[in-house]
């Protein structure tokens, strides 16, 4: 998606050829026009009954996609256990690449139904840990994963390969194949 790539080049900040900081337009401050354009791209590529994300950075994108796809129900996995965790919730563990921590994530069983087509939406796909955790929640519910859609993919970290190995379709607005001299190199570009 050209608009997203331009925004990454203009406002994104690569730290130590490892982390891409996009807090000025995706995960701290939101560029609503960009998110709406991304949502249209995602909606054009999938059919679903429900949108699923994980708190918090995926919520703005997931909300826009749910709205674009006809106001689908939007569920988000919570990154903490509560007093009702147990028989009323689906539970999995997710490792965070950027925070270097593991979190227990939960979804109340009434918010993912057996047989539903669930589209997983998030801000980033790196090693695939968050997406794989959400896939696990869908499996526990007996729901079908319609696909995984993300704003930005760090293709060199292998998340897509893991998901596609499970037969899951992956969409990314921008796929970065490498960071060179603290600058992103997109999948459709040559390394210099």
What is the residue whose two structure tokens read 């080049």?
9
Report the domain count for the chain.
Answer: 1
123 belongs to a structural domain: yes
Structural domain boundaries enclosing 80: 2-186
191 belongs to a structural domain: no
Report, as an integer, the average pLDDT of 61-87: 88
SS3 124: strand
192 belongs to a structural domain: no
CA atoms within 13 A on the CB side of 140: 20
pLDDT at 100 over 80: no
Q: What is the pLDDT of residue 188?
A: 81
Q: What is the pLDDT of residue 86?
A: 64
pTM, 2 dp: 0.94
49 belongs to a structural domain: yes
Q: What is the CATH number of the domain that holds 92?
A: 3.40.50.2020
State percent of the chain over pLDDT 70.
93
C-alpha to C-alpha distance for 180 and 162, rounded to whole angstroms? 24
Report, as an integer, the average pLDDT of 159-181: 97
102 belongs to a structural domain: yes
């Amino acid at each position: 998606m050209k608009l997203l790539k331009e925004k990454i080049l203009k406002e994104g900040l690569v730290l130590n050829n490892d982390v891409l900081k996009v807090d000025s337009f995706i995960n701290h401050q939101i560029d609503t026009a960009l998110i709406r354009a991304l949502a249209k791209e995602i909606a054009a590529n999938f059919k679903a009954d429900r949108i699923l994300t994980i708190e918090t950075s995926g919520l703005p994108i997931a909300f826009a996609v749910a709205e674009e796809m006809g106001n689908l129900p939007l569920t988000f996995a919570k990154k903490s256990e509560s007093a009702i965790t147990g028989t009323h919730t689906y539970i999995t563990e997710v490792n965070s690449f950027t925070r270097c921590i593991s979190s227990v994530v939960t979804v109340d069983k009434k918010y993912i139904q057996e047989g539903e087509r669930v589209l997983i939406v998030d801000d980033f796909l790196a090693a695939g840990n968050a997406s794989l955790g959400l896939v696990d929640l869908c499996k526990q519910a007996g729901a079908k994963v319609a696909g995984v859609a993300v704003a930005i993919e760090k293709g060199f970290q292998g998340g897509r390969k893991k998901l596609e190995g499970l037969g899951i379709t992956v969409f990314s607005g921008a796929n970065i194949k490498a960071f060179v001299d603290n600058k992103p190199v997109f999948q459709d570009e040559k390394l210099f």
